[in-house]
């Protein structure tokens, strides 16, 4: 029998231990300069930000005066059975005196179907996030932030290349130890991305002492917020969220979160019906000790493949490499089912895939020939676009040979990358004009549109060139295979031209 998690008995333990959660303050109880109520990790890394802005320069921002945190109430003995009520009890952010909050409330309330879809998606992840917030003594409003960031979609991907529920861009993800390799993207991982997001939010609150400014920095970048504050300080203006000049997206960001908070706090007032979400974990973690196919893992857990992917959205490929992903998430009641079925599984191997490291730069057709796959299958399983060349040292997923028993090594599973280069490249070529050369004769000679030749040379399409004049054209040319062969190759790859990554 599984023990219920700490969060379900939190009320009892807190009461007996004299601890408590923060009460919901009024708008004046937290202001610019409030001392953080949680400890900021001593070794928190300096994070990159969505707009790639650096932190504001040292000394450019005058410290904001701090004051004592509000007193805490002792928690009641009764733990809420509904997760929404548990979230309400942990609200601790001040409201914002802005018409934008009311407009966002109306916007969400007018779209009940969209709101219901978001809430339904959150059902799988919300309990874990609330648990983590309470463990860190953070405001539970932050559990609503993925509604604003991604509509609680762990597969979300933005035009700025931000991924996952918490929308990390690649550089910030790396700074917060979110692995991004050929086999998985931890920016989508439920546990890892939540840990990283809360680490980052704690750091931002430690910097600004105000949750509205911390959230603005999460969206706009800590450097941008810091510079905006410093600018207002120099002009002897206010330094609160509403005082700063900021992009429209950031101006709406906090009002969106507060609108969601108000709807959750009092759904009847907005004629919204929130579905019941039990105050109980949706998933459990299961340790993986051998490489296993994703489809087989879902089958052993007796859940649909789509449900498995929703709980394990970081997986890129159809196999789970145990050395890189030592645990998976499964619905609470299916974790034991998976373990029983795994113990009784009669198959000799759990994985039908392994990894091959390209020893040299080569075309996909050559790589497919070496690993005895069709080129179409190799492209499909490794997500390789057409007209691309595989660079030396790339890790590719291939069928596992019958006699191979050992799994993929930790070095490959954790760091393997697929590096591609175009098979054709657009090159700038400078020619010397001959006698009677014109835009049209040059275009006809090289099979180019006359309008492009004229554009590249800043002349009209009817222009003529003087003998010896430089003419610029651009042409798609094959990649220089000799130059590619001279590209650096890992020493290990040189030793074994067709080696497998786990041998």
Catalytic residues: 149
Q: How far is 340 from 214, CA to CA, in rounded Å? A: 46
Q: What is the DSSP letter of 6?
A: G
CB 139 within 8 A of CB 22: yes
- Of 182, 485, 503, give the one whose Cα is nearest residue 359: 485
Question: At how many degrees (to 10) do helices 334-344 and 294-301 cross?
Answer: 110
Which residues have a Cβ under 8 Å from the Cβ of 162 and sit 6 or more positions away?
Answer: 50, 156, 168, 169, 187
Q: How far is 285 from 305, CA to CA, in rounded Å? A: 17
Q: How far is 444 from 438, CA to CA, in rounded Å? A: 10
Task: Using the structure block, give the residue that is written with the tokens 């706009």.
Answer: 220
Task: Using the structure block, give the residue that is written with the tokens 């050559």.
Answer: 366
Q: What is the CA radius of gyration of the chain?
A: 28
Q: How many C-beta atoms lie closer than 10 Å to residue 96's C-beta?
A: 17
- Of 133, 183, 184, 135, give the one whose Cα is nearest residue 163: 184
Token pair of 465, please? 């060139």
Measured in degrees and rounded to the nearest 5, phi and psi for residue 396 equal -120, 140
Hey, which residues does 330 pair with through a beta bridge?
284
Hey, which residues does 328 pair with through a beta bridge?
286
Which residues have a Cβ under 8 Å from the Cβ of 217 and sit 6 or more positions away?
Answer: 49, 204, 207, 208, 224, 225, 226
């Amino acid at each position: 029998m599984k023990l219920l998690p700490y969060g379900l008995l939190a009320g009892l333990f807190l009461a007996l231990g004299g601890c408590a959660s923060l009460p919901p303050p009024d708008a004046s109880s937290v202001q610019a300069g409030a001392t953080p109520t949680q400890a900021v990790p001593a070794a928190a890394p300096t994070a990159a930000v969505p707009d790639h802005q650096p932190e504001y320069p040292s000394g450019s921002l005058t410290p904001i005066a701090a004051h004592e945190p509000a007193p805490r109430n002792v928690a009641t003995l009764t733990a809420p059975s509904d997760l929404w009520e548990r979230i309400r009890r942990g609200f601790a952010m001040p409201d914002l005196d802005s018409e934008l909050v009311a407009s966002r409330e109306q916007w969400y309330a007018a779209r009940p179907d969209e709101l219901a879809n978001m809430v339904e998606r959150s059902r799988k992840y919300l309990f874990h996030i609330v648990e983590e917030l309470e463990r860190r003594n953070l405001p539970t409003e932050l559990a609503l932030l993925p509604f604003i960031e991604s509509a609680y979609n762990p597969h979300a991907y933005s035009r700025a290349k931000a991924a996952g529920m918490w929308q990390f861009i690649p550089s910030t993800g790396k700074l917060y130890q979110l692995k991004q390799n050929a086999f998985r993207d931890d920016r989508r991982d439920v546990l890892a991305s939540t840990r990283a997001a809360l680490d980052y939010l704690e750091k931002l609150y430690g910097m600004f002492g105000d949750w509205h400014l911390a959230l603005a920095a999460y969206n706009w970048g800590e450097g941008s917020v810091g510079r905006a504050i410093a600018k207002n300080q120099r002009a002897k203006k206010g330094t609160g969220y509403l005082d700063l000049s900021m992009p429209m997206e950031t101006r709406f960001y906090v009002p969106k979160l507060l609108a969601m908070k108000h709807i959750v706090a009092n759904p009847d007032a907005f004629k919204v019906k929130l579905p019941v979400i039990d105050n109980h974990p949706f998933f459990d973690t299961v340790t993986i000790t051998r490489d296993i196919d994703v489809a087989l893992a879902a089958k052993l857990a007796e859940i649909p493949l789509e449900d498995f992917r929703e709980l394990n959205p970081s997986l890129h490929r159809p196999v789970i490499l145990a050395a890189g992903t030592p645990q998976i998430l499964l619905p609470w009641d299916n974790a034991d089912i998976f373990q029983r079925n795994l113990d009784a599984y009669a198959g000799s191997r759990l994985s039908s895939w392994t990894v091959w490291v390209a020893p040299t730069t080569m075309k996909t057709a050559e790589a497919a020939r070496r690993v005895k796959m069709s080129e179409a299958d190799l492209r499909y399983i490794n997500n390789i676009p057409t007209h691309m060349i595989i660079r030396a040292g790339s890790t590719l997923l291939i069928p596992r040979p019958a006699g191979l028993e050992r799994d993929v090594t930790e070095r490959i599973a954790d760091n393997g990358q697929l590096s591609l280069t175009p098979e054709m490249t657009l090159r700038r070529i400078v020619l010397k004009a001959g006698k009677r050369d014109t835009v049209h004769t040059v275009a006809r000679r090289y099979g180019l549109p006359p309008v492009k030749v004229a554009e590249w040379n800043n002349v009209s399409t009817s222009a003529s060139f003087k003998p010896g004049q430089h003419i610029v054209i651009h042409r798609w040319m094959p990649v220089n295979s000799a130059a590619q062969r001279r590209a650096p190759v890992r020493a290990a790859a040189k030793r074994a031209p067709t080696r497998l990554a786990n041998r």
